């Protein structure tokens, strides 16, 4: 089974409307949190900035959360702007839902695929693993990864999920030999 991996090359942009200039693209930039403690309660925001006018917006991570309910190592990560925590916070689907943005993965990921020989008499099996939740259409990814046309993909690929439906979960497929 050939291993393919979908992995981000950087953090995706956010499709989020700017209140000042109406642009619909924002970035986490270097990645910065703001923490505000009020007695035993805590607010945590992830700061993002409009790519057109630089206006900063705050995305809610925690709102009036009890300090003791947050893992100390995690809290430390918010204070030090830990890049891993910035990434996992941004990619958390709950964050997107709560703060009404979607992720824009354009040019922010790539497919790592070892070269495959497709001219043999045997079917080739491929397992696709997602290191990051990049939404892709399997037919597009397979065509791109194997250098096949979409028509050839539909003719030669047997897949365990629908080929035209966008996914962020791993799947496997088989390339049938040319007949």
Binding site for Zn ion (CB under 5 A): 18, 20-21, 23, 50, 52-53, 55
* 98 closest CA partner among 63, 69, 133, 67: 63
**Contact 25/51 with Cβ under 8 angstroms?**
yes
Q: CB 48 → Zn ion: shortest distance, Å?
A: 11
The smaller minimum CB distance to Zn ion, of residues 23 and 102, is found at 23
The secondary element (H helix, E strand) that includes residue 159 is: strand 157-159
Nearer to Zn ion by C-beta: 15 or 174?
15
Backbone dihedral angles phi then psi of residue 96, each to the nearest 5 degrees: -65, -40
Query: What's the min distance (Å) between Cβ of 87 and Zn ion?
Result: 23
The structure tokens listed for 35 are 């923490």
Question: What's 101-169 look like in SS3?
Answer: CEEECCCCEEEECCCCCCCCCCCEEEEEEECCCCCECHHHHHHHHHCCCHHHHHHHEEECCCCCCCECC
**Between 56 and 80, CB nearer to Zn ion:** 56
Shortest separation between residue 17's beta carbon and Zn ion, angstroms: 9
Least Å distance between CB 63 and Zn ion?
24
**Residue closer to Zn ion, measured from CB, 40 or 100:** 100
Yes or no: say if 128 and 173 are a contact pair by the CB < 8 Å rule.
Answer: yes
The DSSP secondary structure of 14-27, one letter per residue, reads: EE---TTT----EE
Instruction: Choose between 52 and 81: whose C-beta lies nearer to Zn ion.
Output: 52
CB 20 → Zn ion: shortest distance, Å? 5
């Amino acid at each position: 089974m050939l291993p393919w991996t979908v992995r981000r090359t950087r953090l995706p942009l956010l499709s989020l409307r700017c209140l000042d200039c109406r642009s619909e693209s924002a970035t986490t930039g270097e990645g910065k949190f703001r923490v505000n403690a009020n007695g035993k309660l805590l607010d945590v925001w992830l700061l993002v900035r409009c790519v057109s006018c630089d206006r900063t917006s705050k995305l809610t991570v925690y709102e009036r959360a009890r300090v003791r309910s947050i893992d100390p190592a995690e809290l430390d990560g918010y204070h030090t702007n830990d890049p891993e925590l910035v990434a996992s916070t941004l990619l958390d689907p709950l964050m997107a839902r709560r703060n009404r943005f979607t992720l824009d993965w354009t040019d922010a990921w790539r497919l790592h695929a070892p070269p495959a020989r497709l001219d043999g008499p045997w079917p080739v099996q491929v397992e696709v693993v997602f290191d990051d939740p990049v939404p892709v259409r399997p037919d597009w990814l397979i065509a791109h990864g194997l250098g096949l046309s979409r028509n050839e993909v539909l003719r030669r690929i047997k897949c365990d999920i629908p080929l035209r439906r966008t996914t962020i979960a791993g799947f496997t497929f088989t390339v049938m030999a040319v007949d």
